Amino acid sequence: MGESASAVGGGVTARDGIVRGATALATISDTPRLDAELLMAHALGLSREAMLLGRLDDLAPESFAGLLRRRLDGEPIAYITGRRAFWTIELAVAPGVLIPRPDTETLIEAAIDHFGARAPASILDLGTGSGALLLAALDIWPDAHGLGIDRSPEALVIARGNAERLGLAERARFQAGDWGEGIADRFDLVLCNPPYVESEAVLPREVAEHEPASALFAGPEGLDEYRRLAPQIGQMLAPGGVACIEIGFAQGAAVSALFRDAGFDPSIRQDLGGRDRCVILGGSS
């Protein structure tokens, strides 16, 4: 792997470096060309778009080989570049938080459909991590305020930093907590992406070796955190509000049963791949 990375060293253009990098990455990535472009743009200190539109003939920085080596060793692109796009915002991410996935945007889509021309005034994000869901929602609804909860002090530092960079700090609060325990307020919108991976599941190397296990695993069936959340959600939802909670693609029936037992009439929303991804829970009128 070291030889593959060093083969894109000094003296080549960004264009050639990307081609060679993509060839090396084809053995470990489903998106080798995109990975190589993102790494090169990061090395150049540019956005990917700016690089592609006018800087491909620049010399590839020597730092690109080191970045490529890290990716070949299995480190996720988002941790190497320190950035991840989510919905309409870009977030800083680090190994202390789960990397936001496009599938999680399904929760935002469900919330938009629920409120229509209306807007939530208050938003709660349980297990906020990088702040992705809360900050994306606040970007959509400029009059809303929100609270992000997380057990991880490191995650809270990252989330607060993201709120500052996005100009949302005045409308976003973050505090340490364990799901809804101790929360007395009710919210128009509750968002949550809990851990839901089975404890014995085999995950891709870049996930298993780099992302926080506490944000991934939830017992033998992947349902432990839903069992804890089910009796709490109703106490946090304002009348007419909605909770949008992420699930694993095979968990729709099991998670729906847990929330049905807690007094909800859950519905399921699928992601763009046609897989069950979000349980939607309406508050009482």
Report, as an integer, the average pLDDT of 210-214: 94
Last residue within a domain, chosen from 39, 73, 107: 73
Last residue of a domain, one of 21, 43, 73: 73
Domain identity same for 96 and 43: no
* Domain shared by 133 and 250, yes or no: yes
Q: Are residues 54 and 105 in the same domain?
A: no
pLDDT in tens, 76-102: 999 999 999 999 999 999 998 999 999
Same domain assignment for residues 18 and 156: no
92 shares a domain with 61: no
- Is residue 133 included in any domain, yes or no? yes
Question: Radius of gyration of the chain from Cα atoms?
Answer: 20
**Residue 225 and residue 95 share a domain:** yes
Q: Give the pLDDT of residue 11.
A: 85
pLDDT at 5 over 70: no
Q: Same domain, yes or no, for 213 and 277?
A: yes
Q: What is the pLDDT of residues 130-181, one digit of tens each?
A: 999 999 999 999 999 999 999 999 999 999 999 999 999 999 999 999 999 9
As for how many domains the chain has, the answer is: 2
Share of the chain above pLDDT 90, in %: 94
Residue 107 lies in a domain: yes
> Would you say residue 69 lies in a domain?
yes
Quick check: 97 and 130 in contact, CB under 8 A? yes
pLDDT mean over 203-213: 93
User: Which domain range does residue 245 map to?
Assistant: 87-282
- Interatomic CA distance for residues 218 and 90, integer angstroms: 28
| 19, 55, 58, 100, 228 from 9: Cα distances, Å | 13, 17, 13, 31, 51
